[in-house]
């Protein structure tokens, strides 16, 4: 995806060097449609430059700082020397992430998605998350609720979430569910305690998974699972609820699992 419009002064941009002259370097901006910038020779590197080609090559991908934008003259002044190694690495990673997200848009909506549809979804993601990648990442972590505040349709949200969960690698995901536990026996309190211990896995939970069960309001208990990926998190959540249900039912009680909270007050 390329942005329409112009970059802002102070912004870091990614571009490809397409022409080198003695007075400076022309850069095709990879993130902006039809935009080209100039790095004056004095902004290529610190110190005196004998041969500009000792510092840059045609076809080289660079990260530059925008110094000035003159829309009327169709001119963008750039600096290469003002970008340090850390800024370069971060910007390149951000750019690569957005390229990935651009491919995910095609997976979500089809390779032949029309421009209006693409723009509608992309603008909604940009407004809420600052980029396509951030939107897909949040959709992978939090599911449909991450996109509820956008103006995307339910169908569009579902397509994004499904694609995100299949393709986005995130540091962790958190899922939540609820289980109702009741026991009519005199030892009902102890029965529920044992069911909750079963829900927590009795210490037999994978190391990469965090699972906790908390009281919400009788007879409802919250199960929260934090795991490296959505599939693992969902599996651990369902297994936790099943253990609790099995434990309470084995002593004559009842248990039921649901995804949404039902009690009003904690």
Which two three-digit tokens encode residue 164? 């995100």
Nearest one of 182, 201, 179 to 248, comparing CA atoms: 182
* Predicted structure pTM score: 0.64
- What does the alpha-carbon distance between residue 216 and residue 90 come to, in Å, rounded to a whole number? 42
pLDDT of residue 264: 62
266 pLDDT band, cuts 50/70/90, is: very low
- What does the alpha-carbon distance between residue 231 and residue 66 come to, in Å, rounded to a whole number? 42
Quick: pLDDT tens for 16-49: 999 999 999 999 999 999 999 999 999 999 989 9
Q: pLDDT at residue 265 above 60?
A: no
> What backbone torsions phi and psi does residue 115 show, to the nearest 5 degrees?
-60, -40
**In sequence order, what are the beta bridge partners of 39?**
25, 78
pLDDT of residue 217: 87
Q: pLDDT at residue 2 above 90?
A: no
Query: CA triplet 259, 260, 261: central angle to 5 degrees?
Result: 125
- What does the alpha-carbon distance between residue 259 and residue 239 come to, in Å, rounded to a whole number? 14
């Amino acid at each position: 995806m390329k942005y329409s419009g112009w970059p802002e002064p102070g912004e870091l941009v990614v571009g490809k060097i397409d022409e080198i002259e003695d007075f400076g370097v022309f850069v095709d901006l990879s993130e902006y449609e039809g935009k080209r910038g100039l790095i004056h020779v004095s902004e290529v590197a610190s110190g005196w430059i004998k041969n500009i080609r000792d510092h840059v090559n045609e076809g080289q991908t660079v990260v530059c700082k925008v110094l000035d934008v003159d829309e009327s003259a169709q001119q963008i002044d750039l600096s290469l020397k003002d970008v340090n190694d850390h800024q370069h690495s971060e910007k390149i990673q951000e750019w690569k992430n957005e390229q990935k997200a651009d491919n995910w848009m095609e997976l979500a909506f089809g390779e032949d998605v029309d421009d209006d549809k693409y723009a509608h979804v992309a603008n909604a993601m940009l407004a809420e998350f600052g980029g396509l990648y951030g939107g897909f990442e949040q959709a992978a972590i939090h599911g449909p609720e991450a996109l509820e505040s956008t103006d995307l349709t339910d169908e569009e949200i579902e397509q994004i979430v499904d694609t995100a969960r299949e393709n986005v690698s995130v540091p962790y995901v958190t899922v939540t569910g609820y289980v109702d536990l009741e026991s009519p026996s005199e030892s009902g309190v102890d029965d529920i305690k044992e069911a909750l211990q079963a829900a927590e896995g009795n210490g037999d939970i994978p190391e990469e998974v965090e699972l906790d069960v908390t009281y919400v309001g009788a007879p409802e208990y919250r199960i929260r699972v934090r795991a490296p990926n959505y599939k693992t998190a969902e599996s651990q959540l369902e297994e936790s609820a099943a253990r609790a249900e099995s434990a309470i039912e084995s002593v004559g009680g009842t248990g039921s699992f649901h995804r949404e909270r039902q009690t009003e007050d904690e």
